[in-house]
Structure 1
Amino acid sequence: MTGTGGMVRTQPRTPAPPTPGGAVQTLAGPPATTGTGTGRAVHTQPRTPAPPTPGGGVVRTEFRTRSAEEAGRFLGDAYGLSLRLRAAADGPEYSLLRTDAGAFAGGAVSLPARMEFTTHEVTALTFVTMSAGLFERSAPGVDERFTAGDVLLVRPGGRPCFARHTETRCTTVNLSAALLTEAAATADPRHPGLPRFLRSIPSDAPLAGLWTRTQDFVAETLASGLTSNLVLGQAGRLLAATALTVFPNTATAGGPSPDGTRDASPGTLRRAIAFIDANAHTDISLADIAAAVYVTPRALQYAFRGHADTTPLTYLRRVRLAHAHADLKAADPGAGATVAAIATRWGFAHQGRFAAAYRRMYGTSPGATLRG
C-alpha cells in the first residue's frame, strides 16, 4: 500500500452504552483463480470515509482472499486510495484485519506476494509500521524503501506515485481530523486547526520506537475486549499526541508556547475542579476542561501545578478512581459484578495498573473491596 487511510465500516455504528468487546464481521473474497494479473490494469476509487462517531463500541472487520484483483479493490476502499493495480499474483492469501474505534482505527495487513500499483489520490492519513517484507515507493524526487521495523506516514494529497510490496506484513493506524486538531490545540494554542505533517518518517529512531510501543499498547487494549467510551477516548488522544511528538508537523514546529501564567489563578483551578467533578463519567479531555473554564490548556496545567501540585488529568484519574471505589463497595459479586467491568466503566483499561493505583489510594485490592 502506498497510502493507508479511510475506514471501511462493516455495519452502521451508533453510539451505545459501553459494553465489553465489539462486533466482528468476516468478509471473504472470491475463490482462488489462476494467473498473475500482470498486464491487466485494475482501477479503484476510494470511498469517502464517513465522519467519525464518538463513543460507541468497537467494530472489527476481517477480509481474506486469494484473488489479487479483489485484494487490490478492497485495499483501495479500506485505505482511501485511488490505485491502478499493475502486477500481482493470485494464490497466496491476502488479508486485512481492521479494528474501528470511531475516531481512530487500527489494522493488520498481509500481502504475501508481490504487488505493484500506482496511486493517483490518497484521501486519508495513515501511520504504517512494517513487520516484514519490503515496501518501495517512488515519485518525482522521491525514492524510498522500507523494511521490517520501519515506521512511515502516508499523507493525503501529494503527487501520484508508484508502489511495490514484496511479501509485506504491516500494521496501520488511522486518526481522525478531530483527534489531531484537539491534540494540536493542546500542544500549542498558537496553531489552531488541523496540523500538517512535514515529513513521512519520524524525527529520529527512538521516536519511531515510541510510536511502535504506543500503537502496541492501544492494540492490546482493544484486543482485551474490555472497552468503554472513556477507554476509547483516552486511547485515541494518546495516539494523536504521540503522532505529533514522533512526526514533524506544523503544531510543534514553532517551539514551546507562552507560559499562560496570567490565567493560572486559584479561580481557574476551582472552576476546573467543579467541571471535572461533574463530568468525570463522560469522555472529557484536557482541551474540554480548558474550554469549559475559558483558558488555554497550558494555563490550566499551570493552575493545577501552581495551586494543587498535580495535573488536570491526574486529578481526573483520582476522581474516576474514587467513583470506581464507590461502585465496588456498592456492587454485588453474586449478581455478576466484576472488577474488570467496573474498572473499564471508569476508563481504566489495564487491570494491573488499576489494581496498583487502587491499592496505593485505598490500601487494599479492588477484589477485596468487591467481596466486602
Structure 2
Amino acid sequence: MTGTGGATSAKPAGPLAPRTGRTTRTEPSRPVTGAATRTEPSRQVVTGTGGGVTRTEFRTRRAEEAGRYLGDAYGLGLRLGAATDGPEYSLVRTDAGAFTDGVVSLPARIEFSTDEVTDLTVVAVSAGLFERTTAGVDERFTAGDVLLVRPGGRPCFARHTGTRCATVNLSAELLAEAAATANPRRPGVPRFTGTTAPDPSLAALWTRTRAFVAETLASGVTSPLVLGQTGRLLAATALTVFPNTATGEGPLPADTRDATPGTLHRAIAFIDANAGADISLADIAAAVHVTPRALQYAFRGHADTTPLSHVRRVRLARAHADLKAAAPGAGVTVAGVATRWGFAHQGRFAAAYRRVYGTSPGATLRG
C-alpha cells in the first residue's frame, strides 16, 4: 500500500561529517516556501567518538523532513503520506559499524509506505502507537512491544502516532556469523519467519539486551573487543527472540563425535594465544576445525563451562596480571586495563574481579 502523498526518500538536509572525533553542526535548512506555518529549521549534530563509532542527533519540526531523514537512515524506499508539522521529531543514533542503536521520537501523526528494507531493524516501542499493514495484515503495537523489520521485507504501510521507540540495525555479516554459530548446516544470512517475539519474556529479553548495549555505547568505549562482543550479543539475541531458519534444529552426529578432550585443549591453546584479539565462538571453532556446537559440547562436557566464559576468564586473568605489574606513577588505570581486555563496565568488571581474586581491582593496582 502506498502513502497519500510526498516524494520518494531523499538524503537528509546537510551531509554527515567525517568521523574525525569532533562535533560538527550542519547549516540549518531553509524554510519551506508556501508553508502555512513557519517552523524552526532542522538541526543535525554529528559527533565522531573515534574507533569507528559515530553519534548523530537529528531534530526537526517538519514532519516530511523527518520522514525523509528516517528513510535514509534506515535504508527505506519511503513515500510520505499524512503528516503533522509542529512538534519536534528526533533521531539520536550511534553507529558502531556492524550495528547501530537509536532512539526515535515521532510525537505527532506521520504515515509512510515502504517498498523494501535493506537492513535488519529491531524496533522496541516505549510510548505511543505504531500501526502497520503488510500483505493485507493489520498490526498494532504499543509500549512494551518488540517487532522486526526483515531484510527484503514486503512493502508495507505504517502510521506512527505519538511514538517513541528504540531501534537496532544489524548487518548481514553479524547475522550470518550468529546463524553459523547457531546452526552450521545453514550458512549465510538467516531468514526470519516471524516479525514479533512469540512470548512476552522474549520481548523483555530483547529490551534488557538493548538497554545494556545502549549503556555500553553511552560510556564512550570504542574498544574493538567490546564492540565486537556487543554486536555478536545483539545478533545472537535477535536469533533467540524472533523465529528464524537458523535455530531449532538438533545436533549433527559430528558435533558429539568431535567434542573431545583434544578439541578442548586445542581451543584453550588458541584462546590463550589470541585473548587480546576480537575472537568469536566461530573463530575458535574454525581454528580447531570443528563446528561451534561441537566446541560448546567439548567445553561443557570436559570443563563444565562454555568457550566464551573461558575467554572472559582468561581476559580477567590478563587484566589481573596487568594491574599487579603496573609501576607506580605509570598512569595505569583500572578503567584502561578493563577496557583493554574487553570489559566495558567498571562495576561489572570489579564484581567479577572480586569473585575470583577476593579483592578490588583498585586494591591490586595500589599494591
Place the TM-score, normalised by the shorter chain, in its bin: 0.7 to 0.9
Query: Post-superposition shift, 1:30?
Result: 2.7
Retained in 1: the 8 A contact 2:51–2:222?
no
CA distance in 1 between partners of 2:352 and 2:366 (Å): 18
Is contact 1:23–1:58 with CA below 8 Å preserved after alignment? Answer: no
Q: Distance in 1 between matches of 2:251 and 2:196?
A: 22
* Compared CA separation, residues 257 and 201, structure 1 to 2 (3 A): farther
Residue matched to 1:360: 355
The structure 1 segments of at least 4 consecutive aligned residues displaced by more than 3 Å after TM superposition are 7-14, 22-29, 31-37, 253-259, 332-336
Is 1:243 aligned with 2:238? yes
Call closer, same or farther: CA 1:269–1:255 in 2, change over 3 Å.
Answer: closer
Q: How does 1:39-118 map to 2 (within 5 A)?
A: 56-118=51-113
The change in CA–CA distance for 1:117 and 1:89 in structure 2 (over 3 A counts) is same
Structure 1 position 336, deviation (Å): 3.2
Query: Aligned equivalents of 2:27 and 2:106: distance in 1?
Result: 15
> Aligned-pair distance for 1:218?
0.8
Query: Out of 256, 262, 266, which is 1:261 matched to?
Result: 256
SS of residue matched to 1:113: coil
CA distance in 2, matches of 1:210, 1:281: 29
Deviations 1:49-91 (A, max 9, x none): xxxxxx9342101111122222122111001111111221222
Q: Deviations over 1:199-234 (max 9, x none)?
A: 110121111111111111111111112341111111
Corresponding residue to 1:156 among 129, 144, 151 = 151
In structure 1, the partner of 2:177 is 182
Contact 2:119 2:172 in 1 (8 A): no
Gapped regions of structure 2 (runs ≥ 5): 3-10, 39-49
The residue identity in structure 2 corresponding to 1:119 is T
User: Separation in 2 of the partners of 1:144 and 1:29?
Assistant: 37
1:90-126 per-position Cα deviation (integer Å, ceiling 9, x unaligned): 2211111000111111001111111112222222210
- Aligned-partner Cα distance in 1 for 2:221–2:251: 37
How far 1:253 moved relative to its partner? 4.0
**1:134 counterpart = 2:129:** yes
**Contact kept in structure 1, 2:98 and 2:174, CA below 8 Å:** yes
In structure 2, how many angstroms separate the alpha carbons of the residues matched to 1:28 and 1:218? 31
Give the AA of the match of 2:194.
R
Unpaired runs of at least 5, structure 1: 15-21, 38-54
Does structure 1 conserve the Cα–Cα contact (< 8 Å) formed by 2:251 and 2:293? no
DSSP 3-state at the match of 1:334: coil
- Alpha-carbon distance in 2 for matches of 1:365, 1:292: 35
Point out the more displaced range, 62-71 or 103-112.
62-71
Find the aligned partners of 1:196 and 1:272 in 2 and give their Cα distance: 30
Count of aligned pairs between the two proteins: 343
CA displacement at 1:361 relative to structure 2: 2.0
Secondary structure of 2:332's partner? Answer: coil
Aligned to 1:220: 215
The secondary structure found in structure 2 opposite 1:59 is strand
Question: What is the 5 A alignment of 1:2-41?
Answer: 10-12=16-18, 25=24, 30=29, 34-35=35-36
Query: What is the CA distance between 1:174 and its match in structure 2?
Result: 0.6
Query: What does residue 297 of structure 1 align with?
Result: 292
Find the aligned partners of 1:261 and 1:227 in 2 and give their Cα distance.
Answer: 38
Counterpart of 1:248 in structure 2: which amino acid? P
Q: Say if 1:158 and 1:298 are closer, same or farther in 2 by CA, change over 3 A.
A: closer
The residue type paired with residue 174 of structure 1 is N
Farther-moved stretch of structure 1 (201-210 vs 220-229) = 220-229
Q: Which has the higher contact order (CA 8 A, sep 6+)?
A: 1
User: How far apart, CA to CA, are the structure 1 residues paired with 2:61 and 2:252?
Assistant: 52
Identity across the alignment (%): 77
Q: Which of these residues, 213, 229, 236, is aligned with residue 224 of structure 2?
A: 229
| RMSD across aligned positions (CA) | 2.5
TM-score (norm 1): 0.85
Partners of 1:67 and 1:90 within 8 A in 2: yes
